[in-house]
């Protein structure tokens, strides 16, 4: 029987939130996180931390939540669960940079359990560049593969495919970005204990800061103009479409009476839509669209 309890998991997730916020403030060099503590009427609460108007980060959030209570009927039906109380904790991050050459990034690590004994871990990290830089894509995927391979060499190919399929905007027939890894409903089995899985989830969380601060410092010095900002707004529009129409985490948060402001902090500060926009055929924008496909191998 595992001795790993939900209080310990939540405490580690809080520490990961602290670690990431400290690293991002240092890398940005200007903006500081504002913290908003909140309580959920049905039980639990969280720490929403928002950063705005920085040298590099225009808007972002690094959120921690720890909620519990009676499980909503929609959740029971969706996951085929027996009636009981639930507990859920996690860290969720979305960062929207000022400079269009710096990519949007998202990470989520989470733990869910029922009073009936059912539990699982989930999470992932994915990158949504406004302009795809193949060197950055290789760096990003190599780092994620290294984290996965440390725990199970089957993780990266499985979770990379999962991300390609999950972060796919069906109505646009394009991926949200260059993917990453995504996993859900991980629980102990013949190959991994609960502690094994939690160790992997922790390492995913701790990989975030070194990966993204590298991409921040490398790309934030690149010049940009109105053309790049217009394209950034269009790509942010795609990001918003996915989060509002398709993202399961957004739906889960709203259906469990989570804090709306915290759930929707993933939306960009400014986005745009143009009717039937098509970039010129040989442009960097067109090249990015050509690479928003499933199944691309980005590793070195």
242: left (phi over 0), alpha (psi -120 to 50) or beta: alpha
Nearest alpha-carbon partner for 267 in 240, 229, 234, 299: 240
Q: Treating both helix axes as pointing N-terminal to C-terminal, what angle do 134-151 and 194-219 enclose, rounded to 10 degrees?
A: 160
**Active-site residue 106, yes or no?**
yes
- Given the residues 8, 19, 68, 106, the one annotated as active site: 106
| Residues in contact with 177: Cβ distance below 8 Å, sequence separation at least 6, in sequence order | 103, 104, 126, 127, 128, 129, 167, 292
Quote the DSSP letter at residue 84: -
How many whole angstroms from its chain centre is CA 121?
14
- The terminus-to-terminus CA distance of the chain in angstroms comes to 41
Q: Which residues pair with 105 in a beta bridge?
A: 95, 127
Question: Taking CA 290 as the corner, what is the angle to CA 180 and CA 171, rounded to the nearest 5 degrees?
Answer: 75
Tell me if 181 sits within 8 A of 207, measured CB to CB.
Answer: no
Instruction: Show which residues are catalytic.
Output: 106
């Amino acid at each position: 029987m595992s001795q790993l309890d939900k209080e310990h998991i939540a405490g580690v997730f809080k520490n990961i939130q602290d670690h990431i916020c400290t690293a991002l403030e240092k890398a940005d060099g200007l903006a500081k996180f504002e913290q908003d503590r909140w309580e959920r009427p049905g039980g639990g609460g969280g720490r929403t931390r928002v950063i705005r108007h920085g040298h590099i980060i225009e808007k972002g959030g690094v959120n921690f939540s720890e909620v519990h209570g009676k499980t909503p009927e929609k959740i029971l039906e969706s996951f085929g669960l027996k009636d009981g109380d639930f507990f859920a904790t996690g860290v969720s991050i979305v960062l929207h940079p000022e400079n269009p050459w710096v990519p949007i990034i998202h990470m989520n690590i989470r733990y869910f359990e029922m009073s009936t004994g059912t539990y699982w871990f989930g999470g992932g990290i994915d990158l949504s560049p406004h302009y795809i830089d193949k060197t950055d894509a290789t760096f990003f995927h190599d780092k994620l593969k290294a984290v996965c391979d440390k725990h199970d060499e089957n993780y990266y190919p499985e979770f990379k495919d999962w991300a390609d399929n999950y972060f796919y905007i069906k109505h646009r027939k394009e991926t949200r970005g260059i993917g990453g890894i995504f996993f859900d409903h991980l629980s102990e089995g013949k190959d991994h204990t609960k502690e094994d899985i939690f160790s992997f989830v922790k390492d995913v969380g701790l990989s975030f800061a070194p990966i993204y601060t590298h991409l921040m410092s490398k790309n934030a010095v690149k010049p940009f103009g109105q053309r790049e900002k217009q394209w950034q707004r269009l790509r942010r529009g795609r990001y918003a479409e996915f989060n509002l129409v398709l993202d399961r985490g957004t739906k889960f948060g709203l259906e469990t009476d989570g804090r709306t402001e915290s759930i929707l902090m993933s939306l960009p500060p400014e986005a745009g839509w143009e009717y039937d926009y098509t970039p010129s055929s040989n442009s960097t924008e067109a090249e990015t669209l050509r690479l928003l496909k499933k199944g691309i191998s980005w590793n070195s």
